[in-house]
Structure 1
Amino acid sequence: MAQHRSGDRMVMENGLDSLDHHEHDHDHGDDGTIEHESRQNGTIELREEEVSVEKVFQHKLVPSWRNQLTLRAFAVSLALSILFTFIVMKLNLTVGIIPSLNVSAGLLGFFFVKTWTKFLEGSGMLKQPFTRQENTVIQTCVVASSGIAFSGGFGSYLFGMSKRVADQTSDSSDFKDPKLGWMIAFLFVVSFLGLFSVVPLRKIMVIDFKLTYPSGTATAHLINSFHTPQGAKLAKKQVKTLGKFFSFSFLWGFFQWFYTATDQCGFQAFPSLGLKAYQNRFYFDFSATYIGVGMICPYIINISVLLGGILSWGLMWPLIKNREGDWYAKGLGDGSLHGIQGYRVFLAIAMILGDGLYNFFKVLTHTFLGLYTQFRNKRESVLPVADQDSPLPPQQSYDDQRRTQLFLKDQIPTWFAVGGYVAIAAISTATLPHIFHQLKWYYMIVIYLIAPTLAFCNSYGSGLTDWSLASTYGKLAIFTIGAWAGSSHGGVLAGLAACGVMMNIVSTASDLMQDFKTGYLTLASPRSMFVSQVIGTAMGCVVSPCVFWIFYKAFPDLGTPNSEYPAPNAMVFRNMAILGVEGFKSLPKHCLLLCYILFGSAIAINMIKDFLGKRGRYIPLPMAMAIPFYLGPYFAIDMCVGSLILFVWEKLNKAKANAFGPAVASGLICGDGIWTLPSSILALAGVKPPICMKFLSRATNARVDTFLGN
């Protein structure tokens, strides 16, 4: 599901990568991805700029591309990258729904550097003023770095290789436990290829084809607004609001920790809807993170997740459980894939694949139709990749002329991009078989031959619809490479590793093109955008594995059901790989039939949704419905509370809700997310919470009292 750009964007690791926040409709996201910015069913309508933006900034000198890359920008980027990586990692390992932190990155980056420059300016020591180009560099670097926590697969394919996850599946013989060394090496040899694969197409995508890239455009508008007097004043208030809720969320996480001495203790075990509902995972768990996620998510996503939870845990699983002894053997336990757990996992996979496959072909169709239209309307029949000095098109606005002129000024040579791709691909082909002996060198050559085409498709589709289908391309690699390798030659690990290679290439490619669009609109140089993305990616290749390693060592039950960090997508991705290698023989009775039904239902729901157009925004999203099939709907209740808060706020004061809602949500997410750092340190140090707060039924409490002799 990745990371993809938008002020309000979120990613679902399971596959779909785009959603709309303002129109509250389906786009990702994700998971991703989920992404959003005033869009509907993968399209976006942006208002024409009534006032020239560049005339507002015409009195300000645009720094050279080297001066846009400042030491203070990368120092702030590193600090924010560590903060956001903890947040993304926590969400990766819990529900797999990752809200965009672009608003937070832009706000905090602006606030820290602006505060520093004001201090230096007051003392007469300021050598270089803070510009929107430098702000763009910070945002690009932070999102590129924290994005590795998603595309690195720490909550999906990479952790799915581990023994902890393998022991919960039908194939536990093929595994590779996480080690800091090989994880960092793996990311370094696969995370940069996507950056080089689409660099020669930057002029075509941004200037010639004029692709919208809604998330990149939204980010640019955000940064441009910060650097106006009115925007700076609002940004200061937004940062103050974010800080308040950050503090509250952090202290609330600290307070809750005291009551969580063992599993099933604390506020997250409060049976707010009754004990029977709690047994079926219907409860409010007082999580500031999920409330914040709910405030950022479109309403339809939160309702879809809740509806999926009701459908699965409220209806399907109780009915299937009644067939114990008929459909599956008795006494298998709640975690066996040959029992009730098999239905939970594989039915979720069926819906994810149905939704992902539909959207894959939908975006691919958009891509080919868009390309056909572009070529039909062009007199030239050749892609103008090398035509960097072509004259400006006629009848351009002042903004377009100014932006095009500066965008074409600092070029990245095509030979550099092609040479870089070939060199890194050669190093990767030679290196990866040593990290994963199941991944043969000829698999890598095939992947790297087709990857640039897929990276282009993902970048072009993202420019049209704002959907990044990185997870879908990754799943295609799981099935194709896994089936090619076969079970006798480690097909499961080969498929998961190939998924990682493909996801990283197509994800970073679309991210870079979003950055080029953002840079185009803020007059940031393409070179500074490229260098910033490279440095951010390098940061992420080190920071993300280290943060994951802290979680892995601090929480021994990481990746197990009912734990604090169940990593549901790791189980989903591993079982996809097993399914691709072994076929359907491992499924419980009637599970395949139910999978067919849900697979077809996901496609049918999407078709109806698209057919109805604007009215289709009220139809639930299959991808979002599938998420609670495995986890339960507890987090959906928290997210719906977040939606309710935002809904009431919008009714009372819509302008204030629009201005400060993302800041409040970001504060709640960041505070609770950063609390995981001290809680991990306490766990590593062996410090246990002093209290266990548990809730018992009256009958159970009477038995406990009798046992204790009270």
Structure 2
Amino acid sequence: MEMEVEDKLEKMEQGKKEGEKELTIEEIFETKEVPSWRSQITIRSIVVSALLGFLFTFIVFKLNLSTGIIPSLNVAAGLLGFFFIQLWIYVESKLGGSCKPFTRQENTVIQTCVVAISGIAFSSGYGSYILGMTKLVADQGPAMANTANNVMTLGLGWMIGFLALVSFVGLFSILPLRKIMLIDYKLTYPSGTATAYLINSFHTDQGAKLAKQQVKTLSKWFAGSFVWAMFQWFFTGGKDCGFASFPIFGHKAFDHKFFFDLSSTYVGVGMITPYSINLSMLFGSIVSWGIMWPLIEQQKGKWYSADLPVKSLSGIEGYKVFVAIAMILGDGLFQFVVVICKTLYNLLKKNLDKETNSANTATPAVSYDDQRRTEYFLKDQIPTWVAVFCYVVLALVASLCVPFIFPSLKFYHILTIYIIAPILAFCNSYGCGLSDWSLASNYGKLAIFIFGSWVGLNNGGIVAGLAACGVMLSIVSTASDLMQDFRTGYLTLASPRSMFVSQVIGTVIGVITSPFVFWFFFHKGNPNLGQSDSSYPAPFGAVYRGIALIAIEGVSALPKNCLTLCIGFFFFAVLLNIIKEVMMHFNIKAHKYVPSAMAMAIPFYLGGYFAIDMCVGSLYRFWRERKNKAEADAFVPAVASGLICGDSLWGMPASILSTFKVDPPLCIKFFTHGKVVELLRASK
């Protein structure tokens, strides 16, 4: 495999040296007919999208409910979509059926639909704001905030209803601006662009061969990861049982959350997450669990009461949660201001450039690829009046119906969100087009502060703020995702109409599957969901409720001296971002070694075990890149996708077994020599 990649690179270099003219992407596909928008959406594409979307929903939930870190799954969606359609064609031909050719447009439709389904799993908030409403998380906070109107009991009916009400509105929020964003402003949307180039390459002769090799690699690691997860399950028949509790660095380090839990999911995530993020999380876990929390625990009885429950936010748990919140808010606020400033600057610059170009008679040359892409992008338009009408109608319906689910939110609160949301959706989509960084969660946190304090604690302000966060997050997140997909469609000549329809289909499937996956797989199978010592601690549940507490109660919600620490780490996060921005502005390459405050904050609550897993993934990627950079770029994402998908897929049968009260047959635990001697004496 390594030789094949090297041979391709040598041929490319040889072609360049000989002065051969390389064909552009659209020149390569010029002879292939572009199907109509209806033909781009096929039965097989919807079936494959639904199956992959269901799998990816499990993956997103597993990641969201364990650490809250979710890498981009676009590459895996495009690659697996290509594989399953090729498999479909193969089986259909063996059965004697006539096979429609598989086009890059259909591949794009599948990728869009799958990402829409998994996107609902993220924006649904089951690992963040919805979980923050539950009594399980509320019991960890002060009793005065744990009242009936500030707590929600999870129910399948209202969760599906809420998702259905808020998930579709964002599709129409900035739909009329698609031409301005992609053609007039020429925003790149890096993830959407990368996905488009990947799909385009699949449908060339050389790309198809490479894709088959990537799928083969993915399949091997998928099978290995699935079998490893199944093997581990047999030894988890009790609390703290299994290889995940292996104290590889010793029991003292294990007690401070430093161990390698042999999770193939997070090893895979580490392979596709930037080195800086993985190292930042490891650094954050050292600062918090290695230094800060042991020092604060020595103040037990002075800074906080020694009689508090272990999980009380008024004790040591409060320092973990609120300091993490301070860093997240500091990082988020800085990014928010920077993106808004960059957006305004670029908009002003674009307008000035237009005026300059209009005064200049010379028209810049447009490439053949851009001409062809623009032609097809403008071919199947969605009328602006349809987008505006649908947004208004859906906003009114949601404004009237959401208060029945969350009585503390009134119709005028929801209406206010829908009035200001398109502006924020535009800002987020524009910033995402420039930097590939979506700040949807930050807009959601802003909604918590505004509407939580507006409603007030006695009127159910915590639930109101968290629900408002969900409404805002859904709109802003969906809008930026849609523009990313339009960019992919623009570069693959997929019709905007087929892209939009596939997004709607994916949203419908996601609205149905996400609540069921959460309810049956996680909620029933894991009664301790949301607690920091469980398999699925869902850290952002406590974080989002903590933000709502601060918004309503102010600093009175914080333990002693916690405010000082929060202020210090808030400005520390801002300082890190300022240093990084300045270094990037002056092209200082060392900027990549500046830690990410957001990444540092996550292990403050969870510990360092998952950061160690991800750093192992980084080491594997580093080793592959040292051996052969081209091969690593081609195959490491496939290895990572296989590890993530295989481990997550085992969650389905494991949850079914748990539902039917089938427990693992064995328990394996690791003790110190002294503990073993003590147990042997006790047994005698």
Q: TM-score range by the shorter chain?
A: over 0.9
Q: Could you say which residue in structure 1 is the equivalent of 2:603?
A: 628
Query: Post-superposition shift, 1:648?
Result: 1.0
Q: Could you say which residue in structure 2 is the equivalent of 1:646?
A: 621
Q: Could you say which residue in structure 1 is the equivalent of 2:500?
A: 530
Q: Does residue 36 of structure 2 align to residue 103 of structure 1?
A: no
* Change in CA separation of 1:503 and 1:698 when aligned onto 2, cut-off 3 Å: same
Q: Does residue 328 of structure 2 align to residue 352 of structure 1?
A: yes
Q: 1:666 aligns with which of 641, 648, 651?
A: 641
Q: Could you say which residue in structure 2 is the equivalent of 1:511?
A: 481
Deviates more, 1:699-708 or 1:460-469: 699-708
Q: Could you say which residue in structure 2 is the equivalent of 1:686?
A: 661
Q: Does residue 47 of structure 2 align to residue 75 of structure 1?
A: yes
Q: Could you say which residue in structure 2 is the equivalent of 1:92?
A: 64
Q: Could you say which residue in structure 2 is the equivalent of 1:568?
A: 539
Q: 1:542 aligns with which of 512, 532, 544?
A: 512
Corresponding letter in the other structure for 1:355: D
Corresponding letter in the other structure for 1:241: T
RMSD of Structure 2 on Structure 1 (CA): 1.6
CA distance in 2 between partners of 1:506 and 1:248 (Å): 38
Corresponding letter in the other structure for 1:409: K
Offset from partner CA, 1:224-283 (integer Å, 9 cap, x none): 000001111111111111111111111111111111111211111111001110010100
* Change in CA separation of 1:583 and 1:381 when aligned onto 2, cut-off 3 Å: farther
Q: Could you say which residue in structure 1 is the equivalent of 2:198?
A: 222
Corresponding letter in the other structure for 1:317: W
Q: Secondary structure at the match of 1:584?
A: helix
Q: Could you say which residue in structure 1 is the equivalent of 2:249?
A: 273
Q: Could you say which residue in structure 2 is the equivalent of 1:453?
A: 423
Offset from partner CA, 1:184-219 (integer Å, 9 cap, x none): 111111111111011110111111111111111011
1:467-616 pair list within 5 angstroms: 467-550=437-520, 551-613=522-584, 614-616=589-591
* Change in CA separation of 1:127 and 1:370 when aligned onto 2, cut-off 3 Å: same
Offset from partner CA, 1:405-448 (integer Å, 9 cap, x none): 11111110000000000010011011100010011111011111
Q: Could you say which residue in structure 2 is the equivalent of 1:149?
A: 121
Q: Could you say which residue in structure 2 is the equivalent of 1:390?
A: none
Query: Post-superposition shift, 1:377?
Result: 1.6
Corresponding letter in the other structure for 2:378: L
Q: Secondary structure at the match of 2:215?
A: helix
Q: Does residue 421 of structure 2 align to residue 462 of structure 1?
A: no
Aligned 8 A contact 2:139 2:312 in 1? no
Query: Post-superposition shift, 1:332?
Result: 2.1
Q: Does residue 104 of structure 2 align to residue 128 of structure 1?
A: no
Query: Post-superposition shift, 1:118?
Result: 3.9
Offset from partner CA, 1:552-595 (integer Å, 9 cap, x none): 01111111221111111111001111111111102111000000
Q: Could you say which residue in structure 2 is the equivalent of 1:39?
A: none
1:4-403 pair list within 5 angstroms: 51-121=23-93, 125-126=97-98, 128-170=100-142, 171-173=145-147, 174-379=150-355, 395-403=365-373
Q: Secondary structure at the match of 1:554?
A: coil
CA distance in 1 between partners of 2:209 and 2:330 (Å): 46
CA distance in 2 between partners of 1:327 and 1:403 (Å): 63
Q: Secondary structure at the match of 2:494?
A: coil
Query: Post-superposition shift, 1:691?
Result: 1.4
Q: Secondary structure at the match of 2:524?
A: helix
Deviates more, 1:164-173 or 1:430-439: 164-173
Aligned 8 A contact 1:375 1:381 in 2? no
When normalised by structure 2's length, the TM-score is 0.94
CA distance in 2 between partners of 1:333 and 1:323 (Å): 16
More helix by share: 2
Offset from partner CA, 1:302-355 (integer Å, 9 cap, x none): 100000000000000000111111111113243121111110000000000000
Query: Post-superposition shift, 1:121?
Result: 4.8
Aligned 8 A contact 2:381 2:497 in 1? yes
Query: Post-superposition shift, 1:639?
Result: 0.7
Query: Post-superposition shift, 1:124?
Result: 6.1
1:689-704 pair list within 5 angstroms: 689-704=664-679
Query: Post-superposition shift, 1:50?
Result: 6.4
Corresponding letter in the other structure for 2:610: F
CA distance in 2 between partners of 1:381 and 1:421 (Å): 35
Aligned 8 A contact 1:267 1:285 in 2? yes
Q: Secondary structure at the match of 1:100?
A: coil
Corresponding letter in the other structure for 1:540: G
Unaligned runs of 5+ in 1: 1-48, 383-392
CA distance in 1 between partners of 2:431 and 2:572 (Å): 25
CA distance in 2 between partners of 1:329 and 1:553 (Å): 34
Aligned 8 A contact 2:300 2:306 in 1? yes
Offset from partner CA, 1:61-87 (integer Å, 9 cap, x none): 000001111111000000001101001
Offset from partner CA, 1:110-146 (integer Å, 9 cap, x none): 1111222244456663252110000000000000001
Aligned 8 A contact 2:141 2:314 in 1? no
Corresponding letter in the other structure for 1:97: I
Q: Secondary structure at the match of 2:66?
A: coil
Q: Secondary structure at the match of 1:158?
A: helix
Q: Secondary structure at the match of 1:589?
A: coil
Unaligned runs of 5+ in 2: 1-20
1:392-471 pair list within 5 angstroms: 395-471=365-441
CA distance in 1 between partners of 2:305 and 2:516 (Å): 42
Offset from partner CA, 1:435-473 (integer Å, 9 cap, x none): 100111110111111001011111111111111100000
Corresponding letter in the other structure for 1:591: C
Q: Secondary structure at the match of 2:70?
A: strand
The total of aligned residue pairs comes to 652
Q: Secondary structure at the match of 2:664?
A: coil
Corresponding letter in the other structure for 1:680: S
Corresponding letter in the other structure for 1:509: A
